Amino acid sequence: MRVTVLSGSDSPEREVSLASGRAVQVALEKLGHEVTVIDPGPDLPVRLLENPPDFVWIALHGDKGENGKLQGLLDWLGLPYNGSGVTASAIAMDKIVSKRLFIAEGIPTPAYRVAEVVPELTECKEWLRVLGSPLVIKPADGGSTVGVTIAAEATQIPEAVRLALQYSSQVLIERYIPGQEITVALLDGLVLPAIEIVPQGREFYDYEAKYAPGGSRHLIPPNLAADVLKASVDAAYRACRAVGSTGLVRADVRVDPEGQPWVLEVNTLPGMTATSLAPEAAQAAGINFEQLIQRIIDRSLD
């Protein structure tokens, strides 16, 4: 097949996207496909129509590839692609909308507030009073923990919101859940082995912990009691189903010291780098990277 890989763009997650794109390109070529790589810009529709591919692999991360707009363009052009469709992509990328959906569906998710401007100190103190300390402050529609801050004091919050506003017009102020970080990937509805993420020398699972070699340890299976693991996987599965995701998708969950899971978000285009979690979960299920790539393409074309 002729496959076009989209990676790069001008997202804050450009470098991660390029790494995902390179890994996918190598796998596709090993599988015998003819691969073209495009670093998308305003001329993307023209470039896609000049020599239409049989399949488009979206290796973009951040708003340019994950919020449904690109999916809508590809639908309009009649080009099949990996990942979820327009609606699921848009819902999952918007952390505020997805949290409202989780709450409506009875899926446990941390309490939150929303900011669109830098708050006054009195409002910061009220957030701490209601939500507890510390708070997680992050862009409402970003990824890879870009622009994320953990703030324990009211005086830290305005600057944290200011940072997040550089990446999004809305900021999520969320209750911090102490405990363990768990991620659960689904492949066409099949639950892959859960992974516990243990950051090494970092306060939380930030950008360096995600992408730097040795930035985190991944435990399969997680160090959880069987009933807690089951509840965590169930919450992740329900969250992925609630947003309507398809293909390869991943949900991030925090498990507090009492064993209660809390869904943070759903990622409809998980990373495909050397340290990425979804391919690792597939490998644990006996599906190697090339098999994973081909399976995603085959199911997307069904």
- Give the C-alpha separation, 180 to 193, whole Å: 16
Cα dihedral 252→253→254→255 (10° resolution): -150
Strands 180-187 and 149-151: unpaired
Of 7, 82, 267, 276, the catalytic one is 267
Does the active-site annotation cover 22? no
- Paired strand residues for 136: 150, 174
Does the active-site annotation cover 267? yes
- The answer to whether 277 and 144 are in contact (CB under 8 A) is no
Task: Produce one character per residue of 45-62: b if its CB has 16 or more CB atoms within 10 Å, e if not.
Answer: eeebeeeebebbbbbbbb
Of 250, 254, 276, 280, the catalytic one is 250
Does the active-site annotation cover 250? yes
Of 8, 13, 123, 175, the catalytic one is 13
Of 144, 168, 216, 245, the catalytic one is 144
Of 66, 123, 174, 265, the catalytic one is 265
Does the active-site annotation cover 34? no
Does the active-site annotation cover 265? yes
Task: Produce one character per residue of 13-39: b if its CB has 16 or more CB atoms within 10 Å, e if not.
Answer: bbebbbbbbbbbbebbeeeebebebbb
Of 252, 254, 276, 280, the catalytic one is 252
Of 211, 232, 247, 280, the catalytic one is 211
Does the active-site annotation cover 286? no
- Give the C-alpha separation, 260 to 179, whole Å: 10
Catalytically annotated residues: 13, 144, 211, 250, 252, 265, 267, 271
